[in-house]
Amino acid sequence: MNWGILLTTAKPDHQTEREVLKATVEYAQVAERLGYSSGWVLEHHFTRYGICPDTIALAGYLLGQTETLNIGTAVTIAPLMHPIRLAESTALLDQLSDGRFHLGLGRGSFPADFEVFKVDPTRTQDSMRQGVDLMMKAWTEERVGAEGEEYSFAPVPVYPKPHTRPHPPVYVAGESPSTVEWAAQNGFPLLLQLGQQDEETRSRVELYNQYAELAGRDPDAVEHVLVCVGHVGATREEAKKEIFGLVKWWGEEGQRDGFGIEDLRQLPNYRYHLRRIEQAALEGRDDAESWISDWLDNNPVGTAEQCAERLNEIIEASGAKHVVLAMEGSGDVEVTKKNMERFATEVFPLVKA
Amino acid sequence: MNWGILLTTAKPDHQTEREVLKATVEYAQVAERLGYSSGWVLEHHFTRYGICPDTIALAGYLLGQTETLNIGTAVTIAPLMHPIRLAESTALLDQLSDGRFHLGLGRGSFPADFEVFKVDPTRTQDSMRQGVDLMMKAWTEERVGAEGEEYSFAPVPVYPKPHTRPHPPVYVAGESPSTVEWAAQNGFPLLLQLGQQDEETRSRVELYNQYAELAGRDPDAVEHVLVCVGHVGATREEAKKEIFGLVKWWGEEGQRDGFGIEDLRQLPNYRYHLRRIEQAALEGRDDAESWISDWLDNNPVGTAEQCAERLNEIIEASGAKHVVLAMEGSGDVEVTKKNMERFATEVFPLVKA
């Protein structure tokens, strides 16, 4: 079983940007000492939901500060960067870190990103898929050119080639069935976010497995990454209470700065996400406070034993072999480090997988 | 006096990409131990002239691997990246490294970059100047928006803000008089490349100083960076012979993959560079072999005493307070490290500045 930590770089009012970034470096170092196998950084722009705007830069620094910890991105927003640039930067970090850089891709879900960087949000699916094809060619072929709708240029040799052959690990944040299908067909493991119910995760992985088999791929060879919240406390109630305020703030920040219903209605390529929001409203699940309360109940939050029990269930449902925990919910650097330690010493030994 | 090393990441036939990149990291660590104050990384694409395609990623890793060494870029190709992204990434590295990241900007001079990344090479001057204005606003103002010809978007808050106030150090590679003028007016120090004659450097700095004074700035407060080749050997002839082959190869590689006369004729914004090439041809200085031979004679290449003597002259002519040496000319990792050591222990103590 691989354990990772999510380095959110969320910036609440009571912390400065500097404190958030310095704590992020410290968490990665502590995680390495405690035997975690990975740390994952996020890309966001123009929002305190996350103040890391460049996953490559932060990953580069963290790889330089660590020796064995893998640094992944969850996610790098693929449509915002030219795929050849992303292929180049990934290969560079892969070489420098001896393969410790793992690239997680997503399509983006914050409107200001597309507005500022002049990227068409209706084209994210095509640009990510055509982009990944180009990245694969850049990593494995001597020269790469393009004559596609999204990208076109005469063949060029791309330097450097990656150290990891045939290519560095690529993950895909897949929620919608069409992205799950595409990831499965191409053999990219998913970055899964734990939802309100394990059944949702189970169905998504089953769908992935079906598409993988149809494409002649072995689903058991794929190691998905499952992201959830983790917090150990004296009791379930106390643990939940310690992080509730910040998790709620984080959710609201994301809701305010991310695509809203009005945006999604204009984007046929985000139809699945619109339908989910509508469905939640129809079922009366659109109240932030109760949604977060229910969601936290489904995460490993509670005593060490309760956390281990939930992790066992989550792992059973998802088949995940790599669980990444968001552990900063207390909003306190020392409590977060203690939380990481308690998971490593008290919770993980109780997990069966 | 500040001393730096140029980390070219040039990839000749006898070294693998991996060897080049691993050696680059080692050079930075050795430089730090020897008391150099800076290492400078270069951005190139699709050419073995330099296999670092992402100065931010490489700088991030090197900053993570060092404790006191400043890492600069010489240069980051400004028109290839959205200025808000560059402002974000710079501020992030500035925060993580406590101000050890120095951003050097250039306009680009390799045609494939513009072709692949779909950037208009005729607009590089405007895009760099408007871009730098936006970067300054992103670093110092709460929100930044744009309504310019090159960039336009509604105001957004850019995170993170830099640690270094008012902003991280910005350098400009300035050869043409118009770029020198712009840099002087805005107070950006120049990244100067030593030419065939010290008089050229002297004139460029004098021009800078005149424009700085016209803009009400104190030229003496500006610390230009001067880049030259440095190699210590038993005699001047031997030192020159040891690096001649690789320096010649490097020049040819840059000439083959960079803008040629045909390209420059289409680009009014590179008129100065075209004129220089034409002038060299008129004066019979366009033979690579003899050009490089003459140029090396103007660089600190020779015995320790000869190198120190040349450095004293170069520093006198340019007024530079920061000299960055390209020291990899031997093409051998151990010889390069020894060369760095000899400059630190034998040459620098003889330099008067």
Q: Which of B240, B208, B238 is nearest to B221 (CA)?
A: B208
Strands B152-156 and B170-173: unpaired
Interchain CB contact of B272 with A (< 8 Å):
no
- Name the residue range of residue B279's domain: 2-350
ipTM: 0.98
What separation in angstroms does the CA of B128 have from each of B108, B156, B205, B215, B258?
Answer: 10, 20, 21, 20, 19
User: A353 pLDDT exceeds 70?
Assistant: no
Are the Cβ atoms of A158 and B63 closer than 8 angstroms?
Answer: no
Are the Cβ atoms of B60 and A60 closer than 8 angstroms?
Answer: yes
Are the Cβ atoms of A163 and B56 closer than 8 angstroms?
Answer: no
In this prediction, residue A243 has a pLDDT band, given cuts at 50, 70 and 90, of very high
Chain A residues 126-165 with CB within 8 Å of chain B: 153-154, 156-161, 163
Chain B residues 69-128 with CB within 8 Å of chain A: 82, 84-85, 88-89, 92-93, 95-97, 112, 115-118
Which tokens is A8 given? 């959110």
Are the Cβ atoms of B92 and A53 closer than 8 angstroms?
Answer: yes
Are the Cβ atoms of B60 and A65 closer than 8 angstroms?
Answer: no
CATH code of the domain covering residue A47: 3.20.20.30
Task: Indicate the number of domains in chain B.
Answer: 1
Which tokens is B149 given? 């010809």
What chain B residue is nearest to A53 in terms of C-alpha separation?
B88
User: Which amino acid type is present at position B226?
Assistant: L
Give DSSP secondary structure letters for A192-233. Answer: EEP-SSHHHHHHHHHHHHHHHHHTT--GGG---EEEEE-EE-
Which residues in chain B are closer than 8 Å to A95, comparing Cβ atoms? 17-18, 21-22
Are the Cβ atoms of B25 and A96 closer than 8 angstroms?
Answer: yes
Residue B118, phi then psi, degrees to nearest 5: 55, 50
Are the Cβ atoms of B64 and A59 closer than 8 angstroms?
Answer: no
Give the predicted TM-score (pTM) of the model. Answer: 0.98
Q: How far is B289 from chain A (nearest CA, A)?
A: 27
Report pLDDT for B211. 98
Q: Which of A63, A96, A114, A156 has the most B C-beta neighbours within 10 Å, making it the best mutation to test the interface with B?
A: A96
Q: How far is B294 from chain A (nearest CA, A)?
A: 31
What chain A residue is nearest to B63 in terms of C-alpha separation?
A61
**Model pLDDT for residues A106-115, shown as the tens digit of each residue:** 999 999 999 9
Q: How far is B65 from chain A (nearest CA, A)?
A: 5
**pLDDT per residue of chain B (353 residues) written in tens, 0 to 9:** 999 999 999 999 999 999 999 999 999 999 999 999 999 999 999 999 999 999 999 999 999 999 999 999 999 999 999 999 999 999 999 999 999 999 999 999 999 999 999 999 999 999 999 999 999 999 999 999 999 888 999 999 999 999 999 999 999 998 899 999 999 999 999 999 999 899 999 999 999 999 999 999 999 999 999 999 999 999 999 999 999 999 999 999 999 999 999 999 999 999 999 999 899 889 888 788 888 999 999 999 999 999 999 999 999 999 999 999 999 999 999 999 999 999 999 999 999 86
Strands B170-173 and B101-106: parallel
Report pLDDT for B353. 66
User: A64 pLDDT exceeds 70?
Assistant: yes
Q: How far is B40 from chain A (nearest CA, A)?
A: 16
**Model pLDDT for residues A257-299, shown as the tens digit of each residue:** 999 999 999 999 999 999 998 998 898 887 888 889 999 999 9
Are the Cβ atoms of A159 and B17 closer than 8 angstroms?
Answer: yes
Does residue B166 have a cis bond before it (omega within 30 degrees)?
Answer: yes
Chain A residues 52-71 with CB within 8 Å of chain B: 52-54, 56-65
